[in-house]
Structure 1
Amino acid sequence: MANLVQIAEQRRSRLHASWACWQINSLPRFDRFLVDNFPQDRRFPIPNSITTQTDDSQVPVADLQGNQQELEALGHKSSPFFFGLGTLGMTVAGETFGAFAYFYYVDFLGLTLALAALARTIYAIWDALNDPLFSYLSDSTRTRWGRRRPWLLISVPFLALSFVLIFLVPGSMRGQNILFWYLVAVTLLYETFLTITGVNYNVLFPELFRTLPDRVRAGAFNRAGLILGVFVGLALTPLVYEQLGFQKMALLYAALAGIVLFIATLRHREDSSYQNPAIPGPWPIFREILKGRTFWLYALTLAIFAFAVNLFPFAIPFYSKYALGAESGTIVLIFAVSLTAALGSVPVWVRLYRRWGTATVFLRSMGVIVIASLGLGLAPESVTAILATGIYGIGWGGCQVCFDVIRADLVDRHFHLTGQRSEAVYFSLLGVGIHLSGVLQGAAMFAVSGLFGFISGEQPGPQPDLAFRFLIGVVPVIGLLLSMYFARQFFNQIAPKPASKQMPWS
């Protein structure tokens, strides 16, 4: 009987190999493009997650269960489209909050810019502190449904509810001090569930997509979902709140985000072998990650980059109103042009990625954003500003092509060094710097208030146009140049030695 079982398993293993070969030979045109354009000597050293048997030797008994798990994984192949759909849902809510929540409180409800900056700083500090906590809890979770899905199914409804509460301000909360504390309370609630959702969703990427062609393809769908979500959250939102008001807009977006996130969460199935049988306490994991110079260089690059580019959506509503003297339709055009340019540039950047590698694409993309930011600061009227935002979008699209591939490879490197699946903790520690960039954004808001006398929409001060030209055209350029410096150091640090050709960083 044992021999019959082994023979059956051998046949199944050969069938498994045939199935894998059939998958490669039947790739659609875009998949074939990825395979052809990323030859073996330019791929990341990603561990092969599919073991195949190509001869008639005996199958080791210890491998029989592994083959069964692999067949099950093949039967539930992850969909890049649905992964991008989930990103779309999160991004719509996140970008709407980032661009219009504080604008709503300052320009519509009369909260002072200084108090809004203080609320933004408190939000950023909490955002940075809670990421490692929830990430460690996620990595430590072991259930029959996986590590991430239980957290997602619980957090998504509360994320939608807290988003609605941000814009559904009771009339009794409209006083200056009580409005400030209401803003702090609801944004901290929103950020808590945004962190739980974002941490658990984003760290699924390296588990669901394990080869470089799969990651580039999934990354393209993911970034397409992100760019489309940014388009809805930034470009369409002024039209929506003018027609429906902020409260109904919040209800509509919360429903959209919640539904697509639920669909995406239920569509993906985690690999049970990725659950850690036992995970040490948080401090050994943190220490192992934080002792690497590579981690710190990339974390600094991301943090300063996030500070610079996140000023763009925050400042545009103010910039359009006070610097350009334009109506809300101009806000729509600015965001629409920049995001259309970003989305259209992604296929071009993917091709350039093949020729130049990650380092060159990333650095040149940031250079394009620097030029566009200077153009925004100097733009005399709306047409020039819209053209500058188109250039901005092209540079932003190039940076987005690189992020998923870089992060997934860094997680793989960490696994090879430690043997621990700590994707959530690793991503969250990178995220600490990104979230703390909100403190820098708060400082920039304080600086604008102090230097140019801008108090609120009711008291804009003597030079509101210069205030927001400075915020969108000077501060981001300084940040991007500093980020480019750390990015160069990072790519030099992880560049392969001359004898190795495994990493396409340059």
Structure 2
Amino acid sequence: MIFRKGTRSSGETAAGDVNTLIQDAGPPGRPLSAPTVLSFSAAALPLWALAVAVAVYLPAYFASHLGVSLGVIGVAWAVVRFLDIAVDPALGMVMDRTRTRFGRYRVWLMIGAPILMASVYALFLAPAGIGAAYLIGWLFVLYLGISIVTLAHLAWAATLATEYHQRSRVFGVVATVGVLGAVAVLMIPIAAGASGRSDAEGVQAMGWFIFWLVPISVVLVCLRTPEHIAPVREGAHLNLKDLWALLVKPDLVRLVLAQMALTLGPGWMSALYLFFFTDARGYTSEQASILLLIYVVAGIAGAPATARLAMRFGKHRTLMVTTTAYSLGLCTILFLPKASMAAGIPMMFWCGFMAAGFDLMIRAMLADVGDEVRLDQGQEQISLIYALNTLAAKIAAAFAIVLTFPLLGWLGYVAAEGATNTPAAIRSLEFTFILGPIVFVMLGGACVIGWRLDAGRHADIRRQLDERDAQYAEAPILESLTAQPAIAVLAEDGKPG
């Protein structure tokens, strides 16, 4: 077994590109190699691919190809979000207290992978004639799998990098790799259209791609990534007082509200994307997919650039800058020539570049809050913190569909294939598409005005944590399944058991 004490790094380096972010990522005193960082980031590939496919293509696939009404689709997503409310917090609490000889988050990733695979198959290759019960059941399983894999991966990332700026680097690499997964899945409908396949066949091909990407990426992460379990302060245990203190913690509440707004804004845009660009702006389905691809590809540059900006100006200031720039870029879309790829590409690249930093900054800031909570309460609560964040994101994502689809129907827009919409319905589509994202994204940036958990304050928190952790037995690190097959288990007093 390998035991090491965590030590605080005294040096901070400025990253100049993605390679710098990868090379410098890792806990203080224990830098991670580039292959380790990239291997760990692999779990983002299917998650980001799935996020794009579900948000943009799956609802439209149900409505146009399978003939499910917009009302039923909206109700199904709303019901699943209601049923799913308690799942994420419960998972978070259980994860934080999981200890096995193979680690904590590694085990949960392996549990979530088959759940995710089954739901992807059931939804992306759904038979004709499905109804609300089928959608609700399999959407619930899908979001359960997403919750497990996402929570385990995020919490694991927070324990890999414990220094303020290194977290920006690690989450920047994860976001960059995730964008590659989204780009890959967006290439599928473009390739399908070029080869004469239908839109429905393109969506089904997306499902198969994600289905096989899940086990490959999860196995890579589990085999290659070291895992650290922080010691528990003597006498610390989960109680209602600590739980309530966490739920009402001002910094956490602000980040949860910011996450909801920053998910609902782009999610609103995603839900209406195909309808807006084809019916209102005159693009073909293939052109709309190319523009969306440009939007996502921009994140390959936007994620590391946002991380570098945060290392210089702080995470909260960077978030306010990117939300404002995103909204300004989206304002220009109605003034651009219709069906013009030359005009559409720069606008979509700009918005995608800025949007890449939204989740990146929120997740890195949540890791900092998690350190403050551990200092106050004496035990790890990072999985629960990310659970509250992902719960907020999923609720907001569902409302993007729950609000927009019924609203379009009420305004007279018809989504069925071959339908002819009135000029009034098209205008309603245009203003609905534009106003929602701008309002919510600006609210998301406003949530972190006056943020005080900056690099200096966080450095003091880490110093106190390191000093306290040094009083206990050295925390166990499972190097990887390929290098070390066992891990010591910590008892509740923080000593090896």
Name 1:68's counterpart in structure 2. Answer: none
> Aligned to 1:335, which of 289, 292, 297?
292
Q: 2:302·2:356 contact (CA, 8 Å) conserved in 1? A: yes
Q: 2:41·2:178 contact (CA, 8 Å) conserved in 1? A: yes
Name 1:191's counterpart in structure 2. Answer: 143
- 2 CA distance for matches of 1:167 and 1:400? 26
- 1 CA distance for matches of 2:361 and 2:248? 24
- 1 CA distance for matches of 2:236 and 2:34? 27
Alpha-carbon deviation of 1:87? 0.9
Name 2:429's counterpart in structure 1. Answer: 468
SS of 1:393's equivalent in the other structure is helix
For structure 1, the residue ranges without an aligned partner over 5 or more in a row are: 1-11, 39-45, 51-72
Alpha-carbon deviation of 1:258? 2.2
Q: 2:119·2:138 contact (CA, 8 Å) conserved in 1? A: yes
Name 2:211's counterpart in structure 1. Answer: 254
Identity in percent: 16
- 2 CA distance for matches of 1:220 and 1:473? 28
Q: 1:448·1:467 contact (CA, 8 Å) conserved in 2? A: yes
Q: 1:113·1:456 contact (CA, 8 Å) conserved in 2? A: no
Q: 2:232·2:378 contact (CA, 8 Å) conserved in 1? A: no
- 2 CA distance for matches of 1:146 and 1:267? 13
SS of 2:182's equivalent in the other structure is helix
> Aligned to 1:488, which of 436, 449, 452?
449
Alpha-carbon deviation of 1:299? 1.2
- 2 CA distance for matches of 1:27 and 1:375? 34
Is it true that 1:105 corresponds to 2:62 in the alignment? yes
Name 2:412's counterpart in structure 1. Answer: 452
- When residues 483 and 271 of structure 1 are mapped into structure 2, their CA distance, relative to the original with a 3 A threshold, is closer
Q: 1:323·1:469 contact (CA, 8 Å) conserved in 2? A: yes
> Aligned to 2:169, which of 192, 217, 221?
217
Q: How does 1:305-320 map to 2 (within 5 A)?
A: 305-320=262-277
SS of 1:487's equivalent in the other structure is coil
Q: Select between 305-314 and 450-459 the one with higher mean Cα deviation.
A: 450-459
Alpha-carbon deviation of 1:251? 1.8
Q: 1:128·1:431 contact (CA, 8 Å) conserved in 2? A: no
Is it true that 1:438 corresponds to 2:394 in the alignment? no
Alpha-carbon deviation of 1:409? 0.8
Alpha-carbon deviation of 1:455? 5.4
- 2 CA distance for matches of 1:341 and 1:146? 35
Q: How does 1:146-295 map to 2 (within 5 A)?
A: 146-171=103-128, 174=129, 178-240=130-192, 243=197, 244-274=201-231, 280-281=237-238, 283-295=240-252
**Paired AA for residue 150 in structure 2:** G
Is it true that 1:352 corresponds to 2:304 in the alignment? no
- When residues 119 and 458 of structure 1 are mapped into structure 2, their CA distance, relative to the original with a 3 A threshold, is farther
**Paired AA for residue 133 in structure 1:** A
**Paired AA for residue 448 in structure 1:** L
Alpha-carbon deviation of 1:468? 3.2
SS of 2:162's equivalent in the other structure is coil
SS of 2:47's equivalent in the other structure is helix
- When residues 347 and 113 of structure 1 are mapped into structure 2, their CA distance, relative to the original with a 3 A threshold, is same
- When residues 407 and 196 of structure 1 are mapped into structure 2, their CA distance, relative to the original with a 3 A threshold, is same
In the TM superposition, what whole-angstrom CA distance separates every residue of 1:322-356 from its partner, at most 9, and x where no partner exists? 11232222122212222233322344434433443
Name 1:478's counterpart in structure 2. Answer: 439
**Paired AA for residue 349 in structure 2:** G
- 2 CA distance for matches of 1:332 and 1:300? 30
Q: 1:140·1:276 contact (CA, 8 Å) conserved in 2? A: no
**Paired AA for residue 483 in structure 1:** G
- When residues 277 and 266 of structure 1 are mapped into structure 2, their CA distance, relative to the original with a 3 A threshold, is farther
Name 2:368's counterpart in structure 1. Answer: 409
Name 1:70's counterpart in structure 2. Answer: none
- 1 CA distance for matches of 2:324 and 2:318? 10
Q: 1:113·1:445 contact (CA, 8 Å) conserved in 2? A: yes
- 2 CA distance for matches of 1:104 and 1:94? 15
In the TM superposition, what whole-angstrom CA distance separates every residue of 1:157-192 from its partner, at most 9, and x where no partner exists? 221121011022224xx1xxx522222221111111
**Paired AA for residue 117 in structure 1:** G
- When residues 468 and 422 of structure 1 are mapped into structure 2, their CA distance, relative to the original with a 3 A threshold, is same
- 2 CA distance for matches of 1:31 and 1:320? 32
- 1 CA distance for matches of 2:35 and 2:160? 6
- 1 CA distance for matches of 2:247 and 2:226? 30
- When residues 379 and 421 of structure 1 are mapped into structure 2, their CA distance, relative to the original with a 3 A threshold, is same
Alpha-carbon deviation of 1:284? 4.1
Q: 1:127·1:195 contact (CA, 8 Å) conserved in 2? A: no
Alpha-carbon deviation of 1:202? 1.3
- When residues 141 and 356 of structure 1 are mapped into structure 2, their CA distance, relative to the original with a 3 A threshold, is closer
**Paired AA for residue 121 in structure 1:** A
Alpha-carbon deviation of 1:212? 3.6
Q: TM-score, normalised by structure 1?
A: 0.78
Q: TM-score, normalised by structure 2?
A: 0.79
- 1 CA distance for matches of 2:19 and 2:234? 37
Q: 1:338·1:392 contact (CA, 8 Å) conserved in 2? A: yes
- 1 CA distance for matches of 2:322 and 2:67? 38
Q: How many residues were matched structurally?
A: 449
- 2 CA distance for matches of 1:87 and 1:148? 15
> Aligned to 2:280, which of 323, 339, 345?
323
- 1 CA distance for matches of 2:207 and 2:19? 41
SS of 1:382's equivalent in the other structure is coil
- When residues 313 and 443 of structure 1 are mapped into structure 2, their CA distance, relative to the original with a 3 A threshold, is closer
Name 1:57's counterpart in structure 2. Answer: none
**Paired AA for residue 184 in structure 1:** I
**Paired AA for residue 107 in structure 2:** P
- 2 CA distance for matches of 1:20 and 1:218? 17
In the TM superposition, what whole-angstrom CA distance separates every residue of 1:375-398 from its partner, at most 9, and x where no partner exists? 234444133333321120121134
- When residues 276 and 425 of structure 1 are mapped into structure 2, their CA distance, relative to the original with a 3 A threshold, is farther
- 2 CA distance for matches of 1:438 and 1:31? 29
- 2 CA distance for matches of 1:501 and 1:74? 19
Q: 1:452·1:466 contact (CA, 8 Å) conserved in 2? A: no
**Paired AA for residue 444 in structure 2:** S
SS of 1:82's equivalent in the other structure is helix
> Aligned to 1:390, which of 349, 366, 388?
349
